[in-house]
Amino acid sequence: MSRMPLGRYGDTRVQPASLFDVDDTSAEPPAGAIDVQFRSPVSLSMMLDGMAEAGLDDAVEAWGRAYGDLIGQVLLELQRGAGYVVDGDRRALAPARLELAAAVEAQVPGMAKARWHAHVYVGATAASLIDATRWPVDVDDLRQSIFSLTAPFHATRLRELAERELGVVWGQPRPGATQEIMQPPWHEHIDSPERGVCPGPWGPRQHRVIGDEDSLRLAAEAEVQIAYEREQGLWQEPTWQDARAYWDRILTEADDRVRAAKAAGEPPPRPPADLLPGGDHRF
């Protein structure tokens, strides 16, 4: 349900508050906190696992520090894109200072190999930036903002970080698939495509958002669609110029839709079906 906006676009661009101290062994996420998980591509986790097995612990620890810094940027993006509460008095979305905390882990219980990911805990309520009144964070609005804004930001910055720090080259192992490390060919060493869902260092929360859930589903649908079109002789490989022009248009239109929705105080929109992987692949 759309709500009338309060405040101006950009009012959410503030520093988030701290939800709790993740380094304090006696602390834990407060009741009602929302667990948002940002997961790494499996090939990256496999590469880091291989580095650890080869005794390159210093390099793996350096990656962990660099990834922790990246998650700090993700917190800011989450605040900017999803920093709203449901103002019950005005029946509207109000800009708010979210309360956040983050923890990075390399393992998911029950999975033999590494699965790097981050937990970002979001407080169930936050203080309105209009009058400092505390109101609830809407989980559905938060989820849509993460799918549309924060998760793509995390994925893009993560690939850039790996390119810079580890010298890898990303690509699609199959047409329509999600990006994996192609050089060195760590995509060939993936033990399982499952990224896993972690209960978190403090156990499972009542509300959980998996940041890449939407993009992985769309990629799986795209793979099936492209495979079918190839079997039917309908698929035509685009040139890199065609692909670049196509995605420039898609990203520009997506940015315009998100800006318009935020200006109107509405949740970030999902892209139209014909602009998603698995939709219209003719450039």
The predicted-structure confidence for 163-184, as pLDDT tens digits, reads as follows 999 999 999 998 889 999 999 9
The answer to whether residue 27 sits within a structural domain is: yes
The answer to whether residue 221 sits within a structural domain is: no
Note whether 225 and 278 are within 8 A (CB): yes
The answer to whether residue 191 sits within a structural domain is: yes
The answer to whether residue 59 sits within a structural domain is: yes
Q: How would you classify the pairing of strands 4-5 and 17-18?
A: unpaired
Note whether 42 and 190 are within 8 A (CB): yes
The span from the CA of 25 to the CA of 3, in Å, is: 40
Say how many C-beta atoms besides its own lie within 10 A of residue 283's C-beta. 14
- Nearest Cα to 95, choosing from 52, 135, 36, 46? 135
pLDDT at residue 271 tops 60:
no
Instruction: Tally the domains of the chain.
Output: 1
Helix axes 57-82, 42-53, angle to 10 degrees: 150
Query: What are the DSSP E strand ranges found in the chain?
Result: 4-5, 17-18, 34-39, 84-87, 92-97, 99-105, 117-122, 125-128, 134-136, 169-171, 180-183, 207-210
Give 194-197's long-range contacts (Cβ < 8 A, gap of 24+). Answer: 194/42, 194/111, 195/39, 195/40, 195/42, 195/108, 195/115, 195/117, 196/39, 196/108, 196/110, 196/111, 196/115, 196/117, 197/37, 197/108
The span from the CA of 60 to the CA of 38, in Å, is: 19
The answer to whether residue 231 sits within a structural domain is: no
What pLDDT is attached to residue 237? 67
The answer to whether residue 206 sits within a structural domain is: yes
CA-atom Rg of the chain in angstroms: 20
The answer to whether residue 30 sits within a structural domain is: yes
Which residues face 169 on adjacent strands?
183
Domain span holding position 109? 4-212
The average pLDDT across 126-147 equals 95
In the block, tokens 């080869």 appear at: 54
The answer to whether residue 103 sits within a structural domain is: yes
Tens-digit pLDDT profile for residues 111-135: 999 999 999 999 999 999 999 999 9
* 82-96, 148-162, 165-179, 254-268: least confidently modelled range: 254-268
- In eight-state DSSP terms, residue 26 is T
The span from the CA of 145 to the CA of 150, in Å, is: 7
pTM summary value: 0.81
Could you tell me how many residues make up the chain? 283
273 — pLDDT class (breaks 50, 70, 90): very low
